[in-house]
Every structure is written in structure tokens, then in C-alpha cells.
Structure 1
Amino acid sequence: MTQTYPTAEKAAELLERVRVRRPRVHCLMNTVVQKFTADGITVIGAIPSMTSSPDEIADFVSKADVLTVNLGTLDAERRNVIERAVEIANDAGKPWILDPVHCDYSPSRLAFARTLIARRPSVVRGNKAEMALIGKTGDILGIETGAADQLTDGTRSVTVRNGHRWMAEVTGTGCLSGGVIAAFLTVEPDALAAATAALAATGVAAEQAAEFARGPGSFGVAFLDTLSALTPEALRKAARIDHDH
């Protein structure tokens, strides 16, 4: 059977579909990056919500199209809210994404991340150290972010080579990218295609932002500007997507 791989053309198509649909993305996001992530989700064309209130989580996840779970700034109450949110998303058949932030720092956080992965998120996204501990995710899409983003669903492997080094110097660019991946999951059932398109979009926007920025501070602002202005045609031309046959 011939495998289908994501392309720059597909990425451009999905960007356009996100902006037409304007999906609702509920984020259980670490408190350090909530505004930056919400801004990124908004400028890509989606609608973010960020509450982690135990009294409200059921209502917000029920109204959302997709859920993104980030394990930064984790505490006992947030763990309970995450478990409830994942249960609601799974019961409704909604996609959700897990970012196991700093699971390489804390054994209890790593154990919690593995418990959540057993509940089958659509995507697990982390840096090299985090994903090394998480290990292979089988047929769940695993993403290792870095200078080049590496994605695999256990059968197909893709590398996205867009981005800029200043992304690593602005807190929250990875979390923002996770929110954008979540938005793309609402318009594309193939998680590999959705995540590839999202990472290409944020990577191309970062490259464009670096042309105007003087350093990490101005880069963060320029990144939101270029992500907002990114056109499907520009993404089609600039996306650098490699795959293994």
C-alpha cells in the first residue's frame, strides 16, 4: 500500500482551512506562556480559551473543538483538571495534544505523562530530552522539536526544516506551536499531515520574523506579526518538508 506524505501544498491548504473554520482550541497551558500562546492561536485564525478552573473545565472542553495539554507549572489541582479534560475530550471523540514539559526533570511528572499517553492523545510533542524519556509512542504521532522538527506515527517519518534559532531564546514558542498544531488537527484527521503543516507554518513565520528583528525580544513580537500575515502561497513556497519512503 502506497503511503501518503505531507507536502507544502497540503500545508497551504490546511492553513486556509483553519482560517475559514476558526476552530476553538482549549489550552491547559503553563502559566508562564498563556498570553503568548493565546496570541499565536488567535493570529493563525483560531479561537483560544485558557481556563483551568475545576468548576468550568467541563463546559469549556465540551465547547472546544480540540484540547492541548501542557505539563508546565503542574500542581495537584491542575493534574485533576487535566485528567477530567482528557476524559471529556476522549468521550466526545475530540483530538488532543500532550506536551510533556520538563518530564525529564521530575520522575512524578514523567509518570503522569506516561499515564496520559496511555489515554491516547492524537499527538505527543516534546524536545529531545523529553521525548528520549517518553520513548516510542507507537502509532500515536510523536514529535521531537529542535533545529529540525522530526515527526513519526510509527509508519511514516517526516522532517520539517523551517525555523530560526531565536525560537529557542523566546519562552513559549514551542507551546505556541503546540496550540497551532491543535488548531490544524481540527481540519485534518491525519495527525501527521496536520502537525507537519502547523510546524511548517510556525517555522516559515519565524524565518520571516528574523528578517525584521534585532534579537529575541523584537523577534517575539515580529513572530506574531508574520504568523498573522502568513499566506497559503507564502507557506507553499517556503515550507521545507522531507520524508522517508
Structure 2
Amino acid sequence: MRNLPSPQMAARLLACVRERRPRVHCLMNTVVQKFTADGITVVGGIPSMTSSREEIADFVAKADALTVNLGTLDAEHRAVILRAVEVANAGGKPWILDPVHCDYSPSRLAFARDLIALGPTIVRGNRAEMELIGETGACLRIQTGPVDHLADGRATVRIANGHRWMAAVTGTGCLSGGVIAAFMAVEKDPLNAAAGALAVTGVAAECAARNAAGPGTFGVALLDALSALGEAELVSHARIEHDQG
């Protein structure tokens, strides 16, 4: 029988990331590169961020997982993304697509659908983005919000952790995508990897809010909380529900 996500599993995967230190290559929204890199680092991963066409194949080949974010997109970035995905697929590496603001731009939506046809491991977006994206094939589908909804055709999972200040700090979603990629590098089941990563970032956000005065201090506190998060707090506070389908 399939083992479905649990707080104990999230804690085990966090320990694996900290022990194995997976490499995550990020093709990321340029506004949030440092915040995302810091988030991956404090959970135990090793980020790389280059978007050079000359270097991308070498960096992805050395990575354990890839995260692709469409937040800032131009012709050069599209070409680099396609090359990165080609290398990841050839090497059997997991990758996650975040089709940021595909609801704003028809050309971005078309590009996102082209990428989905290339077989990402996970597609993750908010409700408006995911409704426009439509079908995502066999990959894990994550709809983010106050409660994150994960579905892979066999089971659905809900993660109810987090804090309202996450929506007030640019890059918290991008950071969580990077953490998901780090978890995919140590866990073959995308549902378990993503649920564990979202529980970790959600519980850390709740811890950070207790030590922050507002959104400005919350971003820094979130990094501190991710670094300090321990098994006991994660197991006692993670709110993971699931249905087997």
C-alpha cells in the first residue's frame, strides 16, 4: 500500500535534505533569486541560479532537481528554460514548473502549456493560474492558497499550514517551490515530497510570525524558522489531510 504524507514523513524528509544536501538549480523570477537561494540553503540544499545559455546545461546536469519559475520572462529566458528542461529530462531529474502570472499574458500561458507537454514532475500555481492551465497530464498538480491542494490522480492532499504574511512578502511562493525541489531530490514520490516541503514551509511561517512585528521582519524570521525547525515542532503542528482516490 502506498504511504501517504504525514507530519512524521515531512520530518523524515527534512532530515534527509539536511543530511544529503541536494543541489537544486533555479530558473527563477529575478526579483526573488536571493530569497529563494537563502530558503533552499537554510533547509539544507545547495542552490545554483545561473540563467546563462552557455552554462545552463552543465549546471542542470550537476543538479539533483530543477525548479522553473516564469515570473520574469523574455526570449532569452525562454530558450534557457527549454534547454534546462531538455537536460533534466534526459538525465531523469525531477523538475517543478511554477507558471507565475500565466493568467496575465496569453503568450506566457501558451509557453507554460508547452512546458507542461514536456512532462514536469510537478506543476504548482494559484487558483487563477491553475484554472487557466487546465489539464497537466500525469504530473502532480498543486493549487496554492490558504490551504494548499495537491492531487496526482490517485490521492489528494491538503496542507493547512501557513500565515497571512506569506502573501505580503514577495517571493515566499518562489521559496517554497525551491524547497519542494530540494525534497524531490530525496523522495521519489512527488506527492510525498511536495506535501512534506509545504508542511515545512507552512509550519516555519507560523513560527516566524510569532517572532515578527510585520511583513518586513517576517521574511527574515521565516529563514530563521526554516533553519531552526525541529522534528517535534513539525510533527505537532503540521496539518496534513488526505484522501486516497
TM range (shorter): over 0.9
AA aligned opposite 1:138: G
Q: 1:83 maps to which residue?
A: 82
Partner of 1:176: 175
> What CA distance in whole angstroms lies between the structure 1 residues aligned with 2:25 and 2:2?
32
> In 2, are the aligned partners of 1:8 and 1:240 still within 8 Å (CA)?
yes
State the Cα distance separating 1:135 from its structure 2 match: 1.6
Runs of 4+ in 1 over 6 A off after TM superposition: none
For 1:142, what is the secondary structure of its paired residue?
A: strand
Deviation (angstroms), 1:3: 4.6
- Unaligned regions of 5+ residues in structure 2, if any? none
Distance (Å, rounded) in 1 between the aligned partners of 2:41 and 2:198: 16
Q: Alignment length, in residue pairs?
A: 244
CA distance in 2, matches of 1:45, 1:233: 18
Instruction: Give the whole-Å Cα distance in 1 for the aligned partners of 2:179 and 2:90.
Output: 23
Q: Which moved more, 1:201-210 or 1:5-14?
A: 5-14
Q: Which residue of 2 aligns with 1:39?
A: 38
Q: CA deviation at 1:155?
A: 1.7
Identity %: 71
Do residues 117 (structure 1) and 120 (structure 2) align? no
Cα deviation 1:12-62 (Å, max 9, x = unaligned)? 100000000000000000100000000000000000000000111011111
2:99 matched to 1:100? yes
C-alpha displacement at 1:137, in angstroms? 2.0
Other structure's SS at 2:30 match: coil
Tell me the secondary structure at the aligned position of residue 67 of structure 2: strand
Q: Report the Cα distance in structure 1 between the residues aligned to 2:229 and 2:6, rounded to whole angstroms.
A: 17
Q: Is the 8 A contact 1:97 1:121 kept in 2?
A: yes
TM-superposed deviation, 1:138: 3.5
Q: C-alpha separation between the residues in 2 aligned to 1:189 and 1:36?
A: 26
Q: What CA distance in whole angstroms lies between the structure 1 residues aligned with 2:138 and 2:59?
A: 28
Alpha-carbon deviations, 1:121-160, whole Å to 9, x = none? 1100101110111123232101011101000001210000
TM-score (norm 1): 0.98
Tell which deviates more after alignment, 195-204 or 128-137.
128-137
CA distance in 2 between partners of 1:44 and 1:172 (Å)? 16
Amino acid at match of 1:166: W
CA offset at residue 170 of structure 1? 0.2
Unmatched tracts of structure 1, length 5 or more: none
Matching of residues 1-245 of structure 1 within 5 Å: 2-245=1-244
